[in-house]
Structure 1
């Protein structure tokens, strides 16, 4: 490709990534997609914990499992991997040298752990005053929980998410439910990306670096959005409603004969067209169901009737009928159906990259669509330590003999 497609929005930025698992690597992958040179520092012999969180694993050209877990592949595209024992004096010195040539340092160690190695913000700031340093922890750098380890599942519970997620307590299967993906980790990675970008903009204007303190609990609380303000305005904690809506009926999922659909009726006209499409027009004139306030009041009577109506047809039959009638609806797709969806394909949300194992790695593309500096997919997730020699030679000017000596000592 030529022209604007070759531009990199963050091509002038280098990121030293000391993070592992998900929140930090997700932030670093965002920056890598936007063109930053991201150097991922991993433990010699072991690497990022998620490299071993399988099966499933990436398959090589012959269809055999490799050592690369799919979990790891999801969050580490576009980076260069070096192995480094940062507990050793030599490893610490290498981190300091790399930090001097970096714009951003990302880390997700326990509070105070990197200070023991002289790799905390204040120490590295003396090496590079305009450095942007982002720490990601479960609970932040201060407060009574600062020393606790933070796990996404626990944060989803503590931060209120599970109090509003799950089926109603009075229905079968009712009770708190976590999300199907690690949303606190992922959203912390996204907020961290925003923080880093804002700090880069400030540095470019003023020459001043800064420290960014990101906490999973803070993010989980923040992302409850209108549920927070509903509570703050009323003093009443919101309840779980499962796939239903507290104020609109029907606005929920329904089982079809071969799957599930979502019906999101927003007004009485849409409701009338919904039941007419289901050949139950009498449900639109029944005074118990004719208006939304009455449907909310009589939801426990109406919803079972609608559920029986919807079960009579397939998912696609309902989607076709309701779209034609102007009733908001959508399928609940499994991932086979997601990646087979023509809209998902048109948006280029799957990216296949050649991998050093000899096969291809199939990944999910960035949702950021930019006209002049689109995301780049230049490198697959790296093998453990794949770029150690390259980075030490290129950035620190180390000779083959010096690198071999470090490897002999177990520093790299």
Structure 2
């Protein structure tokens, strides 16, 4: 089946998570991704385990971290620090639409592979540069790591319990969101190229992306100039919208409007709260948050989790359980939406590896899973043979 990006070729000089996330997404949509890796070492995340893929003779060198962002790619082992390796990159670019890299700003200059070095020879090339702080600004030389981006960009100051320490998210969300912004930007640049014949460089930074997805909290500050505080699982603008301790576990209550609040109060036998002027509107509930949450917490602590969840569902009140990952991946919903997939893998003792599926569901050009995350350099001979044939033609 033809993918939406069938015929598009991307030369991927990135590693770790942000760049590979972007190129995996493009690969799922049909693009041919050529992943350039250091001979004998490859992407650093190959060693970021355990867990590793379990082979016939024990753990392999293919980490789960590497698997998460590298399917639908072909791996070529090239040492771009050598003149020969750098030339091979330039040769490959003659067949590519996009180059993506995440070296420090200026890091590819010494190999003759910067955008300035390539733009005249490849005027239609879309060249995507990912870095920690961007190609400009006083911090351009600083390294780019997800934790540093979360810290510098403010999200950690908003995350965690009020009296606890600032908290990062459990996954590398600054990296992942940068990959999402990068893939979106690449598609926009390709649209421009197709209309104008002009390629361009995309300059995208982890910290910029993290600041962008401060979203409502960032705009709350810009509007009010009040510095937000950590609220744990509470919402800055909606009450009650958080986790509650039940008699036998935890549940999420996500009341989004006053009508839902009224139904919620009736469900838990506290109708008087919905009629109290201190709580009748969301604006009033925000002002009187502490008193309301204390009252609700006392009430909910004596109720069963499953009873509450069933009651909220029956009364069209948003809420639900807090699933562990085994609950998630064994659920009927995940099966129905194909969010857990298995792909053949030569190193796995079982012959396949389990991966997370693509969340985008096209009606005409669905995402496809054509290649498992490759072993380092596995496709070098095939790619070089294709290149030789192209040059001969």
TM-score where L is the length of structure 1: 0.89
User: By how many angstroms is 1:71 displaced?
Assistant: 0.3
Aligned to 1:20: 15
Do the aligned residues in 1 keep the contact of 2:217 with 2:236 (CA within 8 Å)?
A: no
CA distance in 2: counterparts of 1:381 and 1:39, whole angstroms: 12
The number of equivalent residue pairs is 388
Cα distance in structure 2, aligned partners of 1:185 and 1:215: 9
Q: Does 1:204 align with 2:194?
A: yes
SS at match of 1:263: strand
RMSD: 2.0
Aligned-partner SS, 1:228: helix
Paired residue for 1:43, among 22, 38, 47?
38
Deviation string for 1:82-121 (max 9, x for gaps)?
A: 1111111111111110111111111111111111010111
For residues 37 and 110 of structure 1, the distance between their equivalents in structure 2, rounded to whole angstroms, comes to 25
Structure 1 equivalent of residue 385 of structure 2 = 393
CA distance in 2, matches of 1:15, 1:291: 52
Distance 1:397 1:113 in 2: 31
Aligned match of 2:209? 219
State the alpha-carbon separation in 2 of the partners of residues 45 and 363 from structure 1.
25
Partner-residue secondary structure (3-state), 1:126: coil
What residue number does 2:67 align with? Answer: 73
| TM superposition shift of 1:201 | 1.0
- Tell me how far 1:281 sits from its aligned partner: 4.3
Aligned to 2:308: 318
1:115-154 paired onto structure 2 within 5 Å: 115-154=109-148
Structure 1's 279 and 40: CA in aligned 2 closer, same or farther, altered over 3 A? Answer: same
Choose which of 151, 158, 176 in structure 2 pairs with 1:157: 151
Residue 95 (str. 1) matches residue 85 (str. 2): no
Aligned to 2:358: 366
8 Å contact from structure 1 (residues 7, 372) kept in 2: no
Work out the CA distance in 2 between the residues paired with 1:269 and 1:318: 18
Q: 1:134-162, CA deviations, whole angstroms, 9 ceiling, x for partnerless residues?
A: 11000111111111101111111111111
1:261-293 deviations in whole A, cap 9, x for unaligned? Answer: 111223444334323323444555566555545
Match of 1:41, SS?
strand
Distance 1:345-1:138 versus aligned 2 partners, 3 A rule: same
**Aligned-partner SS, 1:362:** strand
Q: Are positions 1:228 and 2:222 aligned together?
A: no
Name the SS of the counterpart of 2:355 in structure 1: strand
Spell out, residue by residue over 1:188-223, the C-alpha distance to the aligned partner (whole angstroms, 9 max, x if none): 101110111011111111111111111111111111
CA distance in 2, matches of 1:205, 1:247: 43
Specify the alignment match of 1:278 in structure 2: 268
- CA change 1:301–1:46 in 2 (3 A) is same
**Residue 379 (structure 1) aligns with:** 371
What corresponds to 1:404 in structure 2? none
**Post-superposition offset of 1:237:** 2.5
1:330 counterpart residue number = 320
Q: CA deviation at 1:397?
A: 4.2
**Structure 1 consecutive aligned stretches of length 4 or more whose deviation exceeds 6 Å:** none
Instruction: Provide the rounded CA distance (Å) in 1 between the counterparts of 2:107 and 2:72.
Output: 27
Q: Does the CA contact (< 8 Å) of 1:73 and 1:381 recur in 2? A: yes
Equivalent position of 1:260 in the other structure? 250
Q: Report SS of the residue matched to 2:120.
A: helix
Distance 1:356 1:381 in 2: 10
Q: Which residue of 1 aligns with 2:171?
A: 181
Deviation of 1:35 after TM superposition, in Å, equals 0.7
Aligned-pair distance for 1:224?
1.2
Q: Is the contact made by 2:244 and 2:253 (CA closer than 8 Å) also made in structure 1?
A: yes
1:304 to 294, 307, 314: 294
Distance 1:236 1:304, change over 3 A: closer
Q: How many Å apart are 1:177 and its aligned residue?
A: 1.4
* Aligned equivalent of 1:241, options 231, 241, 244: 231
* Structure 1 residue 297, shift from structure 2 partner: 4.2
- TM-score normalised according to structure 2 size: 0.93
Unaligned 5+ runs, structure 2: none
Segment drifting more, 262-271 vs 333-342? 262-271
- Superposed CA deviations along residues 47-95 of structure 1, whole A, max 9, x for unmatched, are 10000000011223x5942221000000000000011111111111111
Distance 1:300 1:231 in 2: 21
